[in-house]
Structure 1
Amino acid sequence: METEIELKFFVSSDFSRQIRDKITDLKVLQQRQKNLGNIYYDTPDFLLRRHDIGLRVRRYDDVYVQTLKTAGRVVAGLHQRPEYNAELDSPVPDLSLIPAGAWPDGLDVNALSQRINPLFSTDFERQQWLLAMPDSSQVELAFDSGEVTTDAGGYDPICEVELELKSGQTDALFVLARELAENGGLRLGNLSKAARGYRLATGYEGDPVKPLTMVDVNDRLSVEQSFVHALEHALEHWHYHEQIYVERPEQEAIFEICNAVSLIRQALVLFGGLIPRRASALLRQELQWLEGELSWVYEARAIERLLDDKGYFLRKLSTQKPLMAKLKARYEALPERAEVLELLHASRYCNLLLDLSRWILTRGWQPFLDDKAREKLAEPLRQFANRSLAQSWEELLSVFALGNELDRFGYLDQQPRLIRNLMSGCCVAALYDVEERESFRLPWLDLQQGIEDIQLLEPVRQLAEDEEFDEEERQQIAKWLGRKEESLLHAMMQSRQMGLNLEPYWDE
């Protein structure tokens, strides 16, 4: 068995010229070009896919090589998957050549052999360079150009760069990746060629946008392991929705990227008592930059809701039509899809993801720790979670206690605090009883929704000052805003009352 460690990028068709420019200062140990044909196999009910197993037979020259790849890890484009290789005399797989330990428990390999069939093919030209890195590591750089096809006529072009560590330190992959990303034009990819082939074979029509979920943690994890889980969970959510947006203009996918960034930032805060701020200073700076680049998405969501169903939300206003026209104009002035795609392929954006991935994989905070911090990070998660949630709760109480009267300005000012509290729960709350946890969080999620509804009114409030409206129309809009605001503030007070009367789920 081998463990393949590689970084994968989606690039433009002319990227090979940039590669040649970038590797001029490196020692090229080997260079070659070859055409590769691959046939992927599975059962009619996709049994292998359900177990996250890929089975292919690759042909180059007169050699056939069977490869089985089993479930592994993908973090911000870095793929780590165990694989098993064996030479064949033909393109027909021979499962007897795969060690028994590679298969999931209970899988009948003999029965599987009778059921597998060709599913799709990947055919591409590979330009390949074996490079000696300055730290003596060896990295194979490959540029693949070709296509994924099915017998039913499915087609998807291939244009990818892969960096595979052949020997030495994983860090060498990231050093080379940053060099390649210097001028932009590439995007870290989590979709393998096999995954793209399965999409064609199964009639894939697009992944749904998903809300951010709890980080999967348990009592067996240490504090440090749970920190890593939180970062990886956020990165997976980020990459999943980046791919959705690249495939189709789904604005909610960008909003979920913002949620993923928020989770990373809050994880850095939550565990910041043990991990010094200077260990993550550059990452936090770049995350803040990206949040700024994407800040428009909140206004875009608000305007979309106001315009939804032909402006139903604004239906009681005599100024509905001119307001809708102005909202549409404002929406059209926000960044267009082409600008967002340019950002997703930008050097700074790619390097942020690379640095995050490298920081996680190399435990980049470790050199900044003293012995006491290392001991604390090695402790079981439960005590840390209890303490952290209690502190976060006290912070929330200091603001949202019933004695504190909050108007719309107060709620908007305290929204970041509420989001931080909810994100802290996302990091560690999976440790606790699901029903108790969800019952406790629900009123505070309702409160967050109320604040978002207040934000929904802001574009209307700003446009109401337009000189196009006369005094009577302005007064009508102001009364409408006042009624909406009063209703929201009343509902939000009820949410606060409900939330404050519940027992914290982490108390034992």
Structure 2
Amino acid sequence: MAEGQETELKLAASPAMLAQLREHPLLAGKDTALTLVTRYFDTPDAILHRHGATLRLRDDGTKSEQTFKSTAGSDSSLRRGEWNAPATGEAPDPQTLPAAARKLLEPLLVDARLRPLATTRIERITRRLKFGTSTIEAAFDSGTVEAGRRSEPVCELELELVDGEAADLFALARQLPLGPELAWSTESKGERGHALALKLPFTAARAGEVALTPAMTVAEGFQVIAWNCLAQFLGNYREVLASGDPDAVHQSRVAIRRLRAAFSLFGDHVTDERSAAFRAEWKAAGDALSPARDIHVLVERIESAAQDAKDDTLDLLKHLRAQRKKATREAQTALSDPALQQLLIGFAEWLEHDLPSASEPLSEFAARTLARRRRKLVKQPALDKLSDETLHELRIQGKKLRYAAEFFDALYPDKKSAKERRAFAKALGKLQDCLGSVHDIAVAHDQREHLFAGKEPIAAAGLSAQLAELLDKHGPGRKRLIKSASKALDRVAEAPAWWKFPIIEQ
């Protein structure tokens, strides 16, 4: 592998699964057993954690080494910067790390004192494998991560690329027994240690900056965008499984929507014999999350409305919360299916190895796409004349244009267009929010019969009527939302075509 870079696929496993994997023929090889004691360090204000970096000391019984790891690479969730140096004492000494590491680390540690935060104690068995054209190191890890009196178990399989192609990591993983007991995880041991030490609650992963450059081709641009969307999903879906956290559900769904929008925006440029299946499977994954997200939004709206309601809403809220719990369990069941892991791993392999080659300059494609999508969006009759279904279709168009503007924003770093880009994004966001609220109201009304199915008819009718009244009286109504959406659409139509500004080469 390139110096200063780690390429690794981590699979969280149950203890029984890890034992089973040690007998798997594809993972067979000579065992090397190690006991690893690793201490993770950070500043009192956790600046390394906030920048997605880790600094550690590791002792394997024969040597002690310090390691600095930076954030994952912009083109995938596999790659991180990694630099090592011999340990010189009981704390890391950044001055002994390679120059590339010091350049990243020193600005973070100006006048800052390092302190130990967490420790991992791992029993590791490693094996060197040949798979495809690559050499891969498989590490079977079991142990604990500890911070003070708190501790959590660690049980995982790490597949690290020694040399060769990253796609071989996924090709190997696809042939393992993927499922709820063996699932892709992007949370490092260091991140787990920080979360434990700092008592950090779960924070949903939101869309990160898409690191495009003007020198990229269309294929390269799609690859970076798709990895960005995939990273957002990977940062949330395991929390959906663990707790059903509403924000994790929402951001998992947003990640899928962004990815599906990318497929739509790039069209035939990324079409091959596998892409149609991927698009269908990602749609199914998003659809599995939709009922949970819809009921989360509805319950929040009704809880807020109930505070001002004169009538007793306890029975209605009790029923809706039960429906929320049911929908969340169904989403968890869908995401725990082995088919999702096959989709994740297979899609990543396709991105790394089989993505169709599209050599058109990305900057030309971006300008053409943004112009065409805006023309299509703004050619609409008066919004108050449109049905809820048509408004929903318009919302999807606006969302795709908004995602396109966010995806391609990094191609236009010049200050001249910055104000126009922000105004354009704000108008599209307002349009999406208003039409989204119209859609939420419509969905809530349309699904009232489904929400109360199974209840005694008279009780169901009463709760359904109460729900309709609360929806109609609380928050902005349909007429007001559409008026605001129309103004936002006008601002989109009138916005300068900032994508025509010269692109500055970086």
Match of 1:233 in 2: 228
Residue 390 (1) aligns with residue 371 (2): yes
Residue 5 (1) aligns with residue 3 (2): no
2:383 and 2:304 mapped to 1: Cα distance?
39
Match of 1:452 in 2: 440
Deviation of 1:7 (Å): 0.6
Q: Which amino acid aligns with 1:327?
A: L
Q: Which amino acid aligns with 2:423?
A: E
2:117 and 2:129 mapped to 1: Cα distance?
34
Match of 1:425 in 2: 405
Classify the secondary structure of the residue corresponding to 1:139: strand
Distance 1:103 1:405, change over 3 A: same
TM-score (norm 2): 0.81
Structure 2 gap ranges (5+): 501-506
Match of 1:354 in 2: 345
Distance 1:241 1:274, change over 3 A: same
2:462 and 2:243 mapped to 1: Cα distance?
43
Larger Rg: 1
- Mean Cα displacement is larger for which, 494-503 or 468-477? 468-477
Deviation track 1:216-275 (CA, whole Å, cap 9, x = no partner) reads 546565444432332122122212222443554312311211111011111011011423
Deviation of 1:8 (Å): 0.8
1:191 and 1:157 mapped to 2: Cα distance?
14
The equivalences for 1:101-250 within 5 A come to 101-104=100-103, 107=106, 115-133=113-131, 135-150=132-147, 152-182=148-178, 184-207=180-203, 209=204, 212=207, 215=210, 217=212, 219=214, 221-246=216-241, 248-250=243-245
Contact 2:302–2:471 (CA under 8 A) maintained in structure 1 = no
Contact 2:34–2:123 (CA under 8 A) maintained in structure 1 = yes
Contact 2:74–2:211 (CA under 8 A) maintained in structure 1 = no
Deviation of 1:36 (Å): 1.3
Contact 2:36–2:124 (CA under 8 A) maintained in structure 1 = yes
Contact 1:76–1:188 (CA under 8 A) maintained in structure 2 = no
Contact 1:303–1:331 (CA under 8 A) maintained in structure 2 = no
Contact 1:407–1:489 (CA under 8 A) maintained in structure 2 = no
Distance 1:197 1:221, change over 3 A: same
Match of 2:320 in 1: 327
Deviation of 1:48 (Å): 4.6
Classify the secondary structure of the residue corresponding to 1:37: strand
1:467 to 421, 438, 457: 457
1:435 to 422, 439, 464: 422
Deviation of 1:38 (Å): 1.5
Match of 1:411 in 2: 391
2:47 and 2:288 mapped to 1: Cα distance?
42
Q: Which amino acid aligns with 2:424?
A: R
1:7 and 1:266 mapped to 2: Cα distance?
26
Match of 1:30 in 2: 30
2:393 and 2:108 mapped to 1: Cα distance?
60
The equivalences for 1:303-314 within 5 A come to 303-309=298-304, 311-312=306-307
2:469 and 2:92 mapped to 1: Cα distance?
73
Structure 1 gap ranges (5+): none
State, as a whole percentage, how many aligned pairs show the same letter: 22
Match of 2:246 in 1: 251
Deviation of 1:392 (Å): 1.7
1:190 and 1:38 mapped to 2: Cα distance?
19
Q: Which amino acid aligns with 1:346?
A: D
Contact 1:77–1:189 (CA under 8 A) maintained in structure 2 = no
- Mean Cα displacement is larger for which, 442-451 or 156-165? 442-451
Deviation of 1:358 (Å): 2.3
Deviation of 1:145 (Å): 1.1
Residue 301 (1) aligns with residue 296 (2): yes
TM-score (norm 1): 0.81
Deviation of 1:123 (Å): 0.7
1:16 and 1:470 mapped to 2: Cα distance?
49
Deviation of 1:155 (Å): 1.9
Contact 1:64–1:90 (CA under 8 A) maintained in structure 2 = no
Classify the secondary structure of the residue corresponding to 1:271: helix
- Mean Cα displacement is larger for which, 221-230 or 71-80? 71-80
Match of 2:504 in 1: none
Q: Which amino acid aligns with 1:411?
A: L
Match of 1:401 in 2: 381
Contact 1:37–1:122 (CA under 8 A) maintained in structure 2 = yes
Q: Which amino acid aligns with 2:377?
A: L
Classify the secondary structure of the residue corresponding to 1:278: coil
Q: Which amino acid aligns with 1:402?
A: A
Distance 1:216 1:475, change over 3 A: same
Match of 1:14 in 2: 16
Distance 1:253 1:505, change over 3 A: farther
Distance 1:290 1:274, change over 3 A: same
Match of 2:286 in 1: 291
1:498 and 1:449 mapped to 2: Cα distance?
14
Deviation track 1:338-370 (CA, whole Å, cap 9, x = no partner) reads x544544432111222223223333x223xx4x
Deviation track 1:397-425 (CA, whole Å, cap 9, x = no partner) reads 34x32288213344345544443343333
